[in-house]
Chain A
Amino acid sequence: MEFKDYYKVLGVNREASQDEIKRAYRKLARKYHPDVSQESDAEDRFKEVGEAYEVLKDPEKRAAYDQLGANWKAGQDFRPPPNWDEGFEFHGGGFSDADAAGFSDFFESLFGQGFASRAGPRGRGRERGENTYAKVLIDLQDAYEGATRQLELKHTELDEEGRPRVRERTLRVRIPKGVRQGQHIRLAGQGQPGIGGGKAGDLLLEIQFKPHPHYHVEGRDVLLHLPVAPWEAALGATVKAPTPGGPVDLKIPAGSGAGRKLRLSGRGIPSSRPGDLYVVLELVLPPARTESDKAAYENLRKALDFNPREALGV
């Protein structure tokens, strides 16, 4: 098990005041909060910061952690000394079962056991289990056709004796056709088990689309940028366009300019009120590589009296 340097994680020195620790934590929490941050490792960093703060914000835990000594280096192989926490009394404040799932083995080995006995069954008789939440990443195609996705889920629950136990599950979940970004699928009874014969909580899956190289999704609508040749836009043409539901023949009206938006009604995400597919025209210029390419452009220049900068007054 690796030693964790909680002071280093928060970027404070070992003599930092409780206020300094709090400020450092708040700053990092804002930076790495998974709802806010775009950093790819935001969730891991946020958990790490949360774990460090969990220990250092609590003078009891901080003192116990400090007496492990200042000579440990982050990443060093660590085993808690026997009875390392002798004489320390902990009052588990602000520690929830849900949070424990994300904490490291290092944290668990130091503070896990002590908390477990207090976080155990609360003796309130029958109680419904808590809901659990997870995100599920799907392809846009899945929303058009429906799919079955395999999910690996990990969470901590308390066993009969109130000890936290990591539970790993592989669920195969049917993704119904027509789902949209941000919608939830409720799997009744798949959350935390109930206490004292109470019903289990629900598992709620939030749908998120993987970014697609060609399509952009806005609610029910889907947007596609379609490259067209200048003559297709100028003269009009019928061209092949891909859609998530399969390729279609798309009529481009004569005299279309770059950025023109064509609507394919009902070809967005299907549902009782299906979305639309918007095709945005993107003009692509053919390269002038050969002599005859150049001659063709030259002819065009001679034939058209065209100033693209007319609107700029030059």
Chain B
Amino acid sequence: MTRREHQSLSGELLDEGGELTLGELCRICSVSEDRIMELVEEGIVEPGGRDPSRWRFRSVSVRRVRCAVRLERDLGINAPGAALALDLLDELEVLRARLRRFERG
């Protein structure tokens, strides 16, 4: 049942400065263009560029799209709910980091 493999690889860093097109983001996140458009509408990801054919996404969008999709699927919330959760999670992460600094030592 189990197969083992060993290989050494170097991949491509999806850089924050480098940008992803709508198609690339769909492919990386395994979601449809309509889904991404819905997430853009909610402000979950914010592309540069005027219309979808010129949209450019930062690599951090991958994490946000995947997280939104997981939250929607696993918790049965809709896109606005996922947007709210993501914003609160971001805020929480900043506060937790600050707390760790104060609690250190």
Do A and B share a complex? yes
Are the C-beta atoms of B2 and A202 separated by less than 8 Å? Answer: no
Q: How far is the CB of A266 from chain B (nearest CB, A)?
A: 16
* Complex interface: chain B residues within 8 A of A173 (CB): 8-11
User: How many A-B residue pairs lie within 8 Å, measured between CB atoms?
Assistant: 117
Which A193-207 residues have a C-beta within 8 angstroms of B?
A: 201-206
Are the C-beta atoms of A33 and B75 separated by less than 8 Å? Answer: yes
Q: Does A257 contact B (CB under 8 A)?
A: no
Are the C-beta atoms of B16 and A180 separated by less than 8 Å? Answer: yes
Closest to A213 in B: B104
Q: Does A314 contact B (CB under 8 A)?
A: no
Q: Chain A: how many interface residues by the 8 Å CB criterion?
A: 49
Which B14-62 residues have a C-beta within 8 angstroms of A?
A: 14-17, 27-30, 59-60, 62
Are the C-beta atoms of A183 and B14 separated by less than 8 Å? Answer: yes
Are the C-beta atoms of B70 and A185 separated by less than 8 Å? Answer: no
Q: Does A190 contact B (CB under 8 A)?
A: yes
Q: Does A7 contact B (CB under 8 A)?
A: no
Q: Does A234 contact B (CB under 8 A)?
A: no
Closest to B5 in A: A169
Q: Does A174 contact B (CB under 8 A)?
A: yes
Known: A35-B70, A35-B89, A184-B62. A225 touches B5 (CB 8 A): no
Q: Does A311 contact B (CB under 8 A)?
A: no
Binds B, one of A59-67, A71-79, A160-168: A160-168
Q: Report the separation of the CA atoms of residues A225 and B102 in the bound assembly, to the nearest whole angstrom.
A: 10
Are the C-beta atoms of A190 and B28 separated by less than 8 Å? Answer: no
Contact of A216 among B3, B28, B101 (CB under 8 A): B101
Q: Does A176 contact B (CB under 8 A)?
A: yes
Q: Report the separation of the CA atoms of residues A183 and B58 in the bound assembly, to the nearest whole angstrom.
A: 10
Known: A35-B89, A202-B28. A176 touches B101 (CB 8 A): no
Are the C-beta atoms of A183 and B16 separated by less than 8 Å? Answer: yes
Q: Report the separation of the CA atoms of residues A133 and B101 in the bound assembly, to the nearest whole angstrom.
A: 30
Q: How far is the CB of A205 from chain B (nearest CB, A)?
A: 7
Interface centre among A36, A180, A182, A218 (most CB of B within 10 A): A36
Closest to B101 in A: A216
Are the C-beta atoms of A188 and B10 separated by less than 8 Å? Answer: no
* Complex interface: chain A residues within 8 A of B2 (CB): 165-168
Q: How far is the CB of A163 from chain B (nearest CB, A)?
A: 9
Known: A33-B71, A186-B11. A170 touches B4 (CB 8 A): yes
* Complex interface: chain A residues within 8 A of B59 (CB): 182-184
Q: How far is the CB of A279 from chain B (nearest CB, A)?
A: 13
Contact of A179 among B13, B70, B74 (CB under 8 A): B13
Q: How far is the CB of B98 from chain A (nearest CB, A)?
A: 9
Known: A166-B2, A190-B9, A216-B101. A130 touches B28 (CB 8 A): no
* Complex interface: chain A residues within 8 A of B100 (CB): 211, 216
Known: A172-B9, A216-B101. A273 touches B63 (CB 8 A): no
Are the C-beta atoms of B63 and A33 separated by less than 8 Å? Answer: no
Contact of A168 among B3, B60, B62, B104 (CB under 8 A): B3
* Complex interface: chain B residues within 8 A of A167 (CB): 2-3, 5
- Which B residues are within 8 Å of any A CB, using their own CB? 1-17, 27-30, 59-60, 62-63, 66-67, 70-71, 74-76, 85, 89, 96-97, 100-101, 104
Question: Can you list the 7 inter-chain pairs with the closest CB atoms, starting with the nearest?
Answer: A174-B10, A172-B8, A187-B11, A185-B11, A184-B14, A169-B5, A186-B12
Pick 25 A–B contacts, CB within 8 A, sort by A: A26-B75, A26-B76, A29-B74, A35-B67, A35-B70, A35-B89, A36-B85, A50-B74, A131-B30, A133-B66, A166-B2, A168-B4, A172-B8, A173-B8, A178-B13, A182-B63, A184-B13, A184-B28, A186-B13, A188-B11, A188-B12, A206-B62, A218-B97, A223-B101, A273-B17
